Amino acid sequence: EIVLTQSPGTLSLFPGERATLSCRASQSVSSSDLAWYQQKPGQAPRLLIYGASSRATDIPDRFSGSGSGTDFTLTISRLEPEDFAVYYCQKYGTSPPLTFGGGTTVDIK
């Protein structure tokens, strides 16, 4: 089973700053099978990025994904007030389990 480790656990930043979130896999993951989600309190997760780097519908271009193999990154170029939330990476694809990382909380400094 592939384990996804996200870091840091919490990222404290000011609005307007750049956020860099890491997702490291215990084994190589196909880039086509890596997604990022955003979750706000009391809400269901929302898809941000799929295929490691493709933005989902209506996702602003300040969100970008990159990486391959075992190291993936979600970057938020300039944090807006609505971006303070928890972010999860996920390995999906054909073969279960479809694991999630432990999450990174981006909060206001």
Binding residues for another protein (CB under 8 A) = 1, 33, 35, 37, 39, 44-47, 50-51, 56-57, 88, 90, 92-94, 96-103
Closest to another protein by CB, 22 or 100: 100
Least distance to another protein, CB of residue 16, Å: 28
Closest to another protein by CB, 14 or 97: 97
- Residues 53 and 108: their CA atoms lie apart, in Å, by 25
Least distance to another protein, CB of residue 11, Å: 16
Least distance to another protein, CB of residue 44, Å: 4
Closest to another protein by CB, 38 or 83: 38
Residue 83 · residue 76 · CB < 8 Å: yes
- Residues 21 and 17: their CA atoms lie apart, in Å, by 13
Closest to another protein by CB, 3 or 18: 3
Q: Could you say which DSSP state residue 90 is in?
A: E
Pairing of strands 104-108, 86-91: antiparallel
What are the structure tokens assigned to 3, written together? 């384990």
Pairing of strands 4-7, 86-91: unpaired
